[in-house]
Amino acid sequence: MRLIAANWKMNKTVAETEDYLTKFLKILGTPEDREVLICPPFTALYVAGRILKDTPIKIGAQNCHYEEKGAFTGEISIPMIKEVGCSYVIVGHSERRHIFGESDEVINRKLVACLERGVRPILCVGERIEDREAGMTFKVVETQIRLALSGIEGLTDLLDVAYEPVWAIGTGVPAKPEDAVTVHRFIKDLLKEINPKSEGRTRVLYGGSVNPENAPEFMKHKEVDGLLVGGASLDPEAFAKIVNSF
């Protein structure tokens, strides 16, 4: 089943979350052939979980810490996010990598913790513009995936991967669908090489300036198993259009 995920990033208060979800549920309808996921900020997870509890819409966290508890001021553990209803966690988003300095080692530890504690991680990978211009897209993506999956190569069916070219995130300039498809195909072949016993349950999502107009162009390709939507997901009507665009 394809996955359409909303990453709200550092947007929306608790009150705004309640208003959004009330409107979104009225607009959305009941899509049965796709999974819908919303990832609010930490402060809104509880209210989102309460509102969406008896709906098919899932909630996820935008980040987590790899330790279960401890002296990690400002961090949120996986048991904490599970308690409020999260079944997914975004791990390794480019903003975590490039703004907050998360290393591949830290991302690997987070993936391990997610799998040990029963939440499904969405591993984000993608190249910067200088990597792309140097012809290093595949090398960068392969390195990120191999390092992230170190020691858990046999568990690829328990996670999803989001290809998000850094140069396309929030810029309004998405990758061309045919270019994204080429990278998606590369990722799927790489995952099969890493885990030959895989049953193909790892979905590869596209993210990077997705909007209601271009979503159908990405989703018409079989290599694209879903979308990770940033800015366009902040409007309930726009996100509903994206969810229902195929």
Q: How many residues are given for the chain? A: 246
Hey, where are the domains in the chain? 2-243
Look up residue 216 and give its two tokens.
């159908």
Q: Annotated catalytic, 93?
A: yes
Q: What is the pLDDT along the chain (246 residues), one digit of tens a residue?
A: 999 999 999 999 999 999 999 999 999 987 888 999 999 999 999 999 999 999 999 999 999 999 999 999 999 999 999 999 999 999 999 999 999 999 999 999 999 999 999 999 999 999 999 999 999 999 999 999 999 999 999 999 999 999 999 888 878 878 899 999 999 999 999 999 999 999 999 999 999 999 999 999 999 999 999 999 999 999 999 999 999 987
Q: Annotated catalytic, 164?
A: yes
CATH superfamily of 2-243: Aldolase class I (3.20.20.70)
Q: Is the pTM of this model over 0.75?
A: yes
Say which of 93, 95, 102, 127 is annotated catalytic. Answer: 93
Q: Are 136 and 88 spatial neighbours (Cβ–Cβ below 8 Å)?
A: no
CB atoms within 10 A of CB 143: 13
Say which of 95, 102, 127, 164 is annotated catalytic. Answer: 164
